[in-house]
Structure 1
Amino acid sequence: MVSGRKWMACAVIALWPLQAMAEQATPAASGAPMVPGGPMVGPPRGDHLTLGLGTLYSAGYDGSNRYRARVLPVIDYAKGRFFVNMRQGIGFRLAETGGRKASASLAAGLTYVPGYRRSDVPAGVGPLRAGMGLRVTANGRVGPLVGSLGVTKPVLGGSEGVLADASIGMPWRIAPKLGAMTSLRLGWADGDYNRAYHGIDAVRAAASGLPQFRPGGGLREVGAQVALNYRVTDRISLTASGGVSTLLGDIRHSPLVKDATQPVGIVSLSYRFGK
């Protein structure tokens, strides 16, 4: 379950299972699950475009006790090996292999790496600029299980270091037009990322009055989620997803962490263009 509860959890904890269900009721001819965020695993399903809007309810940052609703776009576009989607960002499929029973794929591109606003954190801490990161994602499917492993290196914005996340899920067909997906996610970050996101250096400490805090790297968060998708028509899908995550390791003790365990929820409506 794309870290921080970033665009990829708030879209790699939230949007992966949400998008995985958005077209689950209409599987591709290859048998691979399909997502508005791009193919989760397996052979590509050809050129396509899905657009929509979603509302995300989540904390202002990882560890915050203040929550707000935000509007997010839902997009899944592919032309040849080029893709734009919410789970993997903007990039290219590098390789794919497999068939109906098992498959794997590899993709690389640019993805959004969030920060936080000055108003989200205690006075004197200051904002963390959002930016972009280079992301490599490996996807796999074995029978009904689907999984994803991603590594992100921030290159623009206030974040530093390296992030990694692993997700595993299973789709369920409840009714002809209704599907569900349960998933688990584990996140990891190195010390540079954790210090940029949750650290309190001497400058921040002097400005905020908070104690200095210098976390190391390691497992960052674990989360679970359930998503439901209802196929309103052959082209329109309504998806609702809810989950919970908890921070792990050193960052749980950061002065910025008010709630280590946080809920997240998304509702979205999307439309599939073309054939």
Structure 2
Amino acid sequence: MRPRFRLILTCAALLPGVAIAQEVPVDGTPHGQIAIGAGVAPDYDGSDDVRAIPFLLGDIRYHGITLEFRGLRGRVDLASDPRLSVGPIIGARLDRKDADGRVGLLPEIDMAVEAGGFIGYRFGGDRFGQGSIQTELTVVHDISGTYNGLLVTGSAGYAAIRSADTFLSVDVQTTWANADYSRTYFGITPEDSARSGLAAYRPGTGFRDVGAGLSAGHYFSPHFGVIGRLGATYLVGDAADSPVTREGSRWQPLGGITLSYRF
């Protein structure tokens, strides 16, 4: 496996909420954190190559509304309840271009724009959230015409450590994909089979992957800290059986480390 270096931002789909508990300013001004650093992500769905990526995170809260950034994905949490989270989401899915080997002979896939919504709920935990379990369901649909499909992701995370300056959490997740998504990223038409030498393949609807990860952060001053993420998904079902994946890998890693600033 060799790294592919491109200046892009990734949609960190595995990354749960990373906000460290802060006192709300008495003057009602915006508060939160912004973090940027470097990481790695799969070159494309099913690839065994990785690409170097800038790693961007952000949580900005104002009057009970939270604006969150996770790479190429942004969302707005409209719930003022500290346990409930709900709102719209929009983001992008990376392209598949300049792939190596026989996958490179398949049609290129443009970057997709996805929109949808999410809802989550936090169970238990102290005033900082330590010991809590965060559950979430996210639904997005392609609105750019790239794959015209639907993805549904369910996740659960456990806040093992959470204080004013430090957090450590672990999480698990799985994604269900409809046939339109699966056939775009993992399917091979008879014409593409003749061109590439890969067997023709027509996947259907079903679960795409299961995954797990660990996120950690620490603020070593009132404003500056570090946040890191290490995780991976494992392709299952029709996605795992695709010749695209067999040319690459079922393991899809994602990780990075950032310098964070809170205000």
What does 1:110-189 correspond to in 2, within 5 Å?
110-119=90-99, 122-143=103-124, 144-156=132-144, 158-173=146-161, 177-189=165-177
The whole-number CA distance in structure 1 between the counterparts of 2:162 and 2:62 is 32
Cα root mean square deviation, aligned: 2.7
The one-letter amino acid paired with 1:71 is P
Residue of structure 1 in register with 2:213 after alignment: 225
The whole-number CA distance in structure 2 between the counterparts of 1:255 and 1:189 is 18
The whole-number CA distance in structure 2 between the counterparts of 1:87 and 1:262 is 17
The whole-number CA distance in structure 1 between the counterparts of 2:41 and 2:54 is 11
Change (3 A) 1:186 1:27: farther
Aligned residues: 241
1:195 counterpart SS class: helix
Residue 71 of structure 1 pairs with residue 54 of structure 2: yes
Residue 259 of structure 1 pairs with residue 242 of structure 2: no
Deviation of 1:270 after TM superposition, in Å, equals 1.6
Query: Could you state the TM-score of these two structures normalised by the residue count of structure 1?
Result: 0.77
The answer to whether the 8 A contact 1:113-1:154 is kept is no
Change (3 A) 1:158 1:48: same
The answer to whether the 8 A contact 2:113-2:143 is kept is yes
Residue 271 of structure 1 pairs with residue 261 of structure 2: yes
Q: Which runs of 5+ in 1 are unaligned?
A: 1-5, 30-44
The one-letter amino acid paired with 1:170 is Y
Deviation of 1:46 after TM superposition, in Å, equals 7.0
The one-letter amino acid paired with 2:260 is S
Residue of structure 1 in register with 2:13 after alignment: 12
Give deviations 1:165-193, integer Å, cap 9, x for gaps: 01111112278743210100111100110
Residue of structure 2 in register with 1:57 after alignment: 40
Query: Could you state the TM-score of these two structures normalised by the residue count of structure 2?
Result: 0.81
Change (3 A) 1:87 1:262: closer
Residue of structure 2 in register with 1:238 after alignment: 226
2:201 counterpart SS class: coil
Relative contact order higher in (CA < 8 Å, ≥ 6 apart):
1
The answer to whether the 8 A contact 2:55-2:257 is kept is no
Deviation of 1:142 after TM superposition, in Å, equals 0.9
The whole-number CA distance in structure 2 between the counterparts of 1:177 and 1:105 is 22
Residue 47 of structure 1 pairs with residue 30 of structure 2: yes
2:182 counterpart SS class: helix
The one-letter amino acid paired with 1:165 is T
Residue of structure 2 in register with 1:191 after alignment: 179
Identity score, percent: 24
Deviation of 1:57 after TM superposition, in Å, equals 1.4
